[in-house]
Copies of this chain bind each other. A is one copy, B any other.
Amino acid sequence: MASIEASPALSYLKSHREEHIRELTDFLKIPSISAISSHRSEVRLAAEWLAHRLTEAGVAKVQIDDTQGHPIVFGETITDVKKPTILVYGHYDVQPVDPLDQWINPPFSPTIRNNILYARGSSDDKGQVYMQLIAAEAWLKTTGLPVNLKFLFEGEEEIGSIHLSQYISEHQQALKADVAVISDTPMFAAGIPAICSGLRGLATFELEISGPRQDLHSGVFGGSVANPAHVLATIIAALHDDQGRVKVPGFYDGVDPLSEQERKSFASLPFDEQEFLGQTGAPRLFGEEPYTTLERVWTRPTLEVNGMWSGFTGEGRKTIIPQKATAKISCRLVPHQDPDAILDHVSQFIHDKCPDSVRLRIERGEGDSGIVMPVDHFATQAAVKAIEEVYHRPAAFIRMGGSIPVVVTFEQVLGISTVLLGFALPDENFHAPNEHFHLENFHKGSETVATLWNLLENMHA
């Protein structure tokens, strides 16, 4: 099959930049927070916006498929059944926005400062979803798509993709493709685009320690009953040693030791510890010995308290023994760690540590496995080339500490690999106040993806 040049599509993207930013802004104004049930209708609104926009772009078949949770937007354009078919995945839901008072502009009032677009979802992942969309549109409105595209956009990624696996299982035929492409990962750093070849998995649970029937006056009862906040603190304190290593027996079962080659490869990246520290704002870096910072965040499993609360948290003082104390905890897992087994180990450890002076409840959340992707796959190599054409430099191969559970599902259910080609920067505050997206990478990213569609046709041929 003859190659077509990417230039008509790239010209289209370059001449529509203002319009695209204006439209992305509209998309970002919709507060599609999947975790908060009162935002249900706004999540749906974002799905409808996306479906409408896919149709406008020229995608032949577009539908909103209801699930028992938030809907899935599916789109399909089959140019030629003999051409490769790419499954594009993204998510249009976003994280909650608290603490709200730390945002410079309100999270759903997108604002551009210094060619950077600030809004919840700008980089994770609405901005990158929209990038995929306009990369397709650029072909559809010019010389036609060089490949077949299927779009799968979900609204539950930030709450564990609750209904996605079932949907994929039930729509295997409709979703049949040669490879998946996802833009939901960061570049290595500013100016260094990257392909992500490994993801950590996730296992979450909520831990509740309760004691008295209700809050008790600490003067009347203090000293006579166990304080649930103390017990929770003692359990949390027991989960790590003072180097941050998880003390739960079995937690590191199955974790591959790092090869010398991998350590060298990571060490060769232009990673600046001081700059990374600066991104965090923490007094110093801290973590498991003898690993480097990149090894810690890319290849080591972790266990983190994401939130905890107990008793009186308002203004002033209230001298009580709290009725209960609760923590939300999540483990980042590496490949070959089984999320269920991890939760078993952690639960057992906590049960063993918990005294009988309180009551213990552990509520298990969803678990996702970690994964490592093949680097020599034809689509990965096409992505390497697309990056070189647009950014004029070689792609970095990175791993990622976060998890994208759908990658595991694509492999297990559809039997396809995924290329993780994202254009966010690591310090763009995903999940935090003042999330943002550098518009330079929004533009170059959409050009890279448009180029990738073209290269995929050729390389597969």
| In the assembled complex, A296 has its CB within 8 A of some CB on chain B | yes
User: A282: which of B225, B287, B330 is its contact (CB, 8 Å)?
Assistant: B225
Tell me which of A34, A233, A430 has the highest count of chain B C-beta atoms within 10 A of its own C-beta: A233
| In the assembled complex, A224 has its CB within 8 A of some CB on chain B | yes
Knowing A213-B281, A310-B308, A433-B215, the reply to whether A317 touches B223 (Cβ < 8 A) is no
Knowing A229-B236, A330-B218, the reply to whether A313 touches B309 (Cβ < 8 A) is yes
User: A224: which of B226, B276, B316 is its contact (CB, 8 Å)?
Assistant: B276
User: A356: which of B202, B216, B244, B283 is its contact (CB, 8 Å)?
Assistant: B283
Knowing A222-B332, A315-B35, A432-B215, the reply to whether A308 touches B309 (Cβ < 8 A) is yes
Knowing A229-B327, A232-B233, the reply to whether A318 touches B95 (Cβ < 8 A) is yes
**B-contacting 9-mer, from A13-21, A109-117, A187-195, A398-406:** A398-406
Bound complex: CA A244 to CA B227 (Å): 9
Contact digits for A313-333, partner B, Cβ 8 Å, 1 yes 0 no: 111111111110111101010
| In the assembled complex, A128 has its CB within 8 A of some CB on chain B | no
Identical chains bound together, number: 2
Is there an interface contact between B313 and A307, defined as CB atoms closer than 8 Å? yes
**B-contacting 9-mer, from A76-84, A357-365, A385-393, A445-453:** A357-365
Is there an interface contact between B402 and A217, defined as CB atoms closer than 8 Å? yes
| In the assembled complex, A31 has its CB within 8 A of some CB on chain B | no
Bound complex: CA A233 to CA B35 (Å): 26
Task: Tell me the minimal C-beta distance from A33 to chain B in angstroms.
Answer: 9
**A321 — which chain B residues lie within 8 A by C-beta?**
304, 306
What are 28 residue pairs bridging A and B, where the CB atoms are less than 8 Å apart in the complex?
Answer: A35-B314, A36-B315, A37-B315, A95-B318, A96-B312, A96-B314, A96-B316, A204-B317, A213-B282, A218-B402, A219-B332, A224-B287, A225-B280, A226-B282, A229-B305, A229-B307, A229-B308, A229-B327, A230-B237, A230-B239, A230-B305, A233-B234, A233-B236, A283-B357, A286-B357, A305-B311, A308-B310, A320-B432
